């Protein structure tokens, strides 16, 4: 069954415009509440978290109204990282979890992500069933069965203890100066507190949210402010999270940025050496650099590729019995510890390796030489379908012919924004620019 409302990570869009309206949130809450309430009898609970966007208040209230109308009891966590919702949903024996966030998107956007009772994101099939319920209508609960709402004040503290528990007992971060950039998002209190409790000297960036500055010139998608802070404060490492803290980008002591591929390469190599890497493989998406694949091969390990989206990475991990995966963008998934990408937990693993090895961040965050890769995004208007145009198809075919045997091309429509993503890899930088720009020009012409 096809999905129309859901993208690669829940429902997302501009706040107060379809589909991200209060009315739609109320209807979604009712539909998902009815769907999961049908699973069993007894008390029904939903855990709801959010990031720091101004529109989060509106969507929290609308979702709560829809959910309680079907008999769900809503447990409201307030601002917490997305992985906290994945953790607390099964911990609190909830029927489902909801995170209100548009992740790395600007403040005017918002989104709604759903987790099942096991703490994992919903499958395409379940999301399609929920969309079907939206179309056919939802039966409300009897008046005596309407649900209640309750604030849960210690949710982030429970999550913080879980993060610390992923490190070896007794490990301390004494003597390590860490710049932590929280993107003015969901981890603005959580991440600095965890680092401080473990003994680190903490320098904060992006920890003053005002509802409108989430991801604004900071965080994992714009790490320059954190890189400047690393150099200015002579820090040992910088950790950049995104708005809901399920992504991480690292900065070494020289101010150089390391993406998710480098972090995954380090972790896979280290876990394999410790006989902790299940299946002898790392799961990553088609966006991951060819250099990562070559590095893993040199270590006797495999790279299992999936479609773009951390949910597809997790599905492949669960199906294949793997315990480490992620995305170049910084989603790092460790199913021994969490059910979804967790930027803070991944950062803790990197810091633990710094302590264990005594090596600098610049040594650890450069596992392999990446193959030159170029990614450009083209925004398109409502109703446009650039990839269906003959001129764009012809440009893609020409680029594939030019790259034959020399590189790799990936063209896709974003599942979270109205963007066409054009990515290529090639050892020849001039050819790389040529093929990407040729496609971008054609897309722009019809977008």
Per-residue H/E/C for 111-155: EEEEECCCCCECCHHHHHHHHHHHHHCCCCCCHHHCCCEEECCCH
Assigned token pair, 167: 């490190």
Instruction: Name the DSSP letter for residue 278.
Output: G
Rounded to an integer, the average pLDDT of 122-151 is 94
Of all helices (H) and strands (E), which one includes residue 273? helix 260-273
Give pLDDT tens digits for 69-127: 999 999 999 999 999 999 999 999 999 999 999 999 999 999 999 999 999 999 999 99
CATH 3.40.120.10 fits 11-155, yes or no: yes
pLDDT at 292 over 60: yes
**Average pLDDT over all residues of the chain:** 95
Average pLDDT over residues 64-69: 98
> Helix %, strand %, coil % for the chain, to 5?
40, 20, 40
Arithmetic mean of pLDDT, 360-383: 93
CB distance 80 to 155 below 8 Å: yes
* pLDDT of the residue at 162: 97
Q: How far apart are CA 278 and CA 335, in angstroms?
A: 11
Q: What are the structure tokens assigned to 437, written together? A: 């720009």
**What is the CATH number assigned to the segment(s) 172-255?**
3.40.120.10
At residue 62, does pLDDT exceed 80? yes
Residue range(s) of every CATH 3.30.310.50 domain in the chain: 373-446
* pLDDT tens-place string over residues 242-258: 999 999 999 999 999 99
- Confidence check: pLDDT of 172 > 80: yes
pLDDT over threshold 70, residue 435: yes
Query: Which 3 state secondary structure label does DSSP give 374?
Result: strand
Class of domain 373-446: alpha beta
pLDDT band at 40 (very low <50, low <70, confident <90, very high): low
Give the pLDDT of residue 9.
Answer: 85
Identify the CA nearest to 158 among candidates 78, 71, 239: 78
Q: Kindly indicate the confidence band of residue 7, based on its pLDDT and cuts at 50, 70 and 90.
A: confident
Q: Which residues are catalytic?
A: 103
pLDDT at 171 over 80: yes
Please tell me the predicted confidence (pLDDT) of residue 2.
Answer: 58
Indicate whether 309 pLDDT > 90: no
Residue 263 has pLDDT above 80, yes or no: yes
Angle at 59 between CA 181 and CA 158, to 5 degrees: 50
d(CA 92, CA 351): 30
pLDDT exceeding 70 applies to what percent of the chain?
98
What fold is seen in the domain 260-364?
Answer: Alpha-D-Glucose-1,6-Bisphosphate; Chain A, domain 3 (3.40.120)
Across residues 20-33, what is the average pLDDT?
Answer: 97
Q: Which helix (H) or strand (E) is 230 found in, with range? A: helix 224-232
pLDDT at residue 383 in the model: 79
Phi-psi region at 217: left, alpha or beta (left = phi > 0; alpha = psi -120 to 50)? left
Global pTM reads 0.90
Mean pLDDT for the stretch of residues 269-279: 97
Q: Is the per-residue pLDDT at 41 higher than 80?
A: no
For CATH 3.40.120.10, list the domain ranges present in the chain.
11-155, 172-255, 260-364
Residue 142 contacts by C-beta under 8 Å, 6 or more apart in sequence? none
pLDDT of residue 8: 79
């Amino acid at each position: 069954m096809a999905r129309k409302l859901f993208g690669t990570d829940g429902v997302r869009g501009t706040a107060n415009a379809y589909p991200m309206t209060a009315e739609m949130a109320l209807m979604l809450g009712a539909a998902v509440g009815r769907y999961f309430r049908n699973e069993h009898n007894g008390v029904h609970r939903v855990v709801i978290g959010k990031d720091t966007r101004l529109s989060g208040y509106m969507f929290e209230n609308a979702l709560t109204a829809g959910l309680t109308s079907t008999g769900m009891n809503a447990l409201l966590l307030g601002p917490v990282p997305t992985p906290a919702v994945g953790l607390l949903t099964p911990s609190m024996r909830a029927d489902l979890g909801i995170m209100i966030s548009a992740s790395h998107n600007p403040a005017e956007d918002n989104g709604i992500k759903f987790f099942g009772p096991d703490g994992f994101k919903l499958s395409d099939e379940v999301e399609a069933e929920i969309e079907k319920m939206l179309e056919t209508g939802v039966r409300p609960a009897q008046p005596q069965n309407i649900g209640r709402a309750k604030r849960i004040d210690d949710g982030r503290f429970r999550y913080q203890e879980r993060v610390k528990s992923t490190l070896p007992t007794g490990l301390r971060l004494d003597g390590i100066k860490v710049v932590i950039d929280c993107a003015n998002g969901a981890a603005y209190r959580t991440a600095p507190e965890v680092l401080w409790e473990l003994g680190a000297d903490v320098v904060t960036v992006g920890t003053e949210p005002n509802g409108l500055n989430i991801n604004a010139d900071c965080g994992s998608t714009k790490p320059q402010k954190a890189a400047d802070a690393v150099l200015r404060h002579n820090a040992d490492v910088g950790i950049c999270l995104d708005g809901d803290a399920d992504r991480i980008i690292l900065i070494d002591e020289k101010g150089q940025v390391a993406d998710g591929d480098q972090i995954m390469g380090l972790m896979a190599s280290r876990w394999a050496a410790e006989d902790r890497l299940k299946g002898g493989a790392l799961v990553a998406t088609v966006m991951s650099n060819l250099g990562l694949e070559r590095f893993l091969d040199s270590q006797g390990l495999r790279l299992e590729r999936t479609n773009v989206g951390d949910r597809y990475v997790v599905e492949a991990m669960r199906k294949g019995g793997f315990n480490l995966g992620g995305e170049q963008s910084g989603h790092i998934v460790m199913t021994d510890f969490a059910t979804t990408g967790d930027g803070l937990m991944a950062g803790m693993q990197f810091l633990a390796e710094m302590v264990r090895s005594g090596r600098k961040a610049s040594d650890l965050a450069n596992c392999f030489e990446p193959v030159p890769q170029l990614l450009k995004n083209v925004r398109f208007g409502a109703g446009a379908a650039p990839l269906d145009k003959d001129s764009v198809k012809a440009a893609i075919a020409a680029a594939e012919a030019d790259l034959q045997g020399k590189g790799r091309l990936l063209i896709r429509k974003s599942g979270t924004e109205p963007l066409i993503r054009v990515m290529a890899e090639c050892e020849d930088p001039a050819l790389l620019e040529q093929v990407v720009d040729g496609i971008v020009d054609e897309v722009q012409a019809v977008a």
